[in-house]
Structure 1
Amino acid sequence: MSPQLPFEPPDRELSPDELEKIARAVGEDPSLWEDELRKTTAERTYVDVFTNEHLGVWAISWMADEHDTGYHDHARSSGGVYVVRGTIRHEHLRLGHRPVGTAVPAGKTFRFDPTFIHRMRPEPGAGPTRTVHAYSPPLTDTGQYAECDDGLLHRHPSPADEQLKPHGRQGTPTTAGDRP
């Protein structure tokens, strides 16, 4: 028997605010995902907690400081993220300036709309980190960004089930002491 979900399966696309609340509710109930989430330092791992035509919810394990999504977008999906354990460094790409980064500790959330380009990685030294992500519509593809040999920023389309990782130069990562 599958566990009871802490939300009603939606019959429409959800706002970033609604997604943030769902991510928190799922994150606060680890019986929905923890037993199936592989914990390995070899790569970031995830488990699909729930998916229908309007919503996708994933739990993600970040076991090493080197786990890094690189800069990416979520195509047409909005999202909400809840940090269950550890700390995630959430970075925003800026043109002509260094990125802006924020350390998001356990118990905190953030959200984004489909126009957002960001990067996520564990805060260095924070230890194993777990996050829950809710996407609407469900994530089917992403765009991964990198500076290529021509010095320009390029978007590389990829399916959502492909492991997000840096593809080429990502610029200087932010640190805890950075100020925008």
Structure 2
Amino acid sequence: MSSNQQPIVVGKIGSTYGIKGWMKITSYTNSVEDIFDYSPWLIQEQGKWREVKVSQWRFHGQAVIAALEGVETREQAQMLTNCEIAILPEQMPELPEDEFYWRDLMDCEVINTKGYHMGKVEQIVETGSNDVLLVKANAKDSFGKVERMIPFVPGQFILEVNVPEKQIVVDWDPDF
């Protein structure tokens, strides 16, 4: 792994399951089983990432359990409890031109149609109907705002997203 690639956390290893090295897996992917579409995984142990491969996995009720290559005992599995599971950015599937990963929108400058710099995207909140950008206002915001919540509705409020330039153009009043 090159030093400039920041791993993307997609899950976490939970407690052990049984005596043969199986572990419960917490998946942060859309469907819990989607985490197994990625190989290899990176797991973080003592602040360092290392590559591992899943040898087997299966559903256990609503959850999933997995066995990793080289992990054959309960004791070996216990050493991995609470380790984060990550993948490299290039393992993520390409998205259509008008779709974006949340990580690509983080720290983007938000500018409205009148050229007002509203701040930077600090967080994205999933609300069910649509995602919402939490924009941290600039230090000297003339409207006295600390943050703004802008619905991520392309064509209505979100007019342009330029990921390479880290800029989002919005149709949003800075006083909201």
Please indicate the TM-score interval, normalised by the length of the shorter structure.
under 0.3
Greater radius of gyration (CA): 2
More strand by share: 2
Q: TM-score, normalised by structure 1?
A: 0.25
